[in-house]
């Protein structure tokens, strides 16, 4: 069964460093998303991406964040200068024509 994959599973970084989180969505899906979940809190939307551009972003998704689909398979989230409060699980999701979104296993980011 096709699935969304994410790498790395864990990332530890120093405050101020750049991180890139990678995702491989389900191959025939056209809509891509990043969500995050701070420990003990709700899953919250960051950004959606369709047709090679951002279609919607939340107030969390400020200038320190960017997304890219560098080739036909990968979808990345970059945080330019990490802050302590960026520590969270980051989930990639994708969907096809139907509304259902399928999530990857997540990347646990810890900013020290």
Partner 1 sequence: QKEVEQDPGPLSVPEGAIVSLNCTYSNSAFQYFMWYRQYSRKGPELLMYTYSSGNKEDGRFTAQVDKSSKYISLFIRDSQPSDSATYLCASPRVGDNKLIFGAGTRLAVHP
Residue with Cβ nearer partner 1 (30 or 112): 30
Query: Which residues fall within 8 angstroms of residue 22, CB to CB, at 6 or more apart?
Result: 6, 7, 8, 74, 75, 76
Alpha-carbon separation of residue 28 from 9, 14, 23, 35, 98 (angstroms): 23, 36, 14, 20, 12
What is the closest distance, in whole angstroms, from the C-beta atom of residue 25 to partner 1 in the complex? 13
Helical (H) or strand (E) element with 110:
strand 107-111
What is the closest distance, in whole angstroms, from the C-beta atom of residue 35 to partner 1 in the complex? 7
The residue ranges that bind partner 1 (CB under 8 A) are 4, 6, 31, 33, 35, 42-45, 48, 55-56, 58, 89, 91, 93, 95, 99-106, 108
What is the closest distance, in whole angstroms, from the C-beta atom of residue 51 to partner 1 in the complex? 13
Residue with Cβ nearer partner 1 (18 or 56): 56
């Amino acid at each position: 069964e096709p699935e969304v994959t994410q790498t790395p599973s864990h990332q530890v970084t120093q405050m101020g460093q750049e991180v890139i989180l990678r995702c491989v969505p389900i191959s025939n899906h056209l809509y891509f998303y990043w969500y995050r979940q701070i420990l003990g809190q709700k899953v919250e939307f960051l950004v959606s991406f369709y047709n090679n551009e951002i279609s919607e972003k939340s107030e969390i998704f400020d200038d320190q964040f960017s997304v890219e689909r560098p080739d036909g398979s990968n979808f990345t989230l970059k945080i330019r200068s990490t802050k302590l409060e960026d520590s969270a699980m980051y989930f990639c999701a994708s969907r096809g024509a139907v509304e259902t979104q399928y999530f990857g296993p997540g990347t646990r980011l810890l900013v020290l």
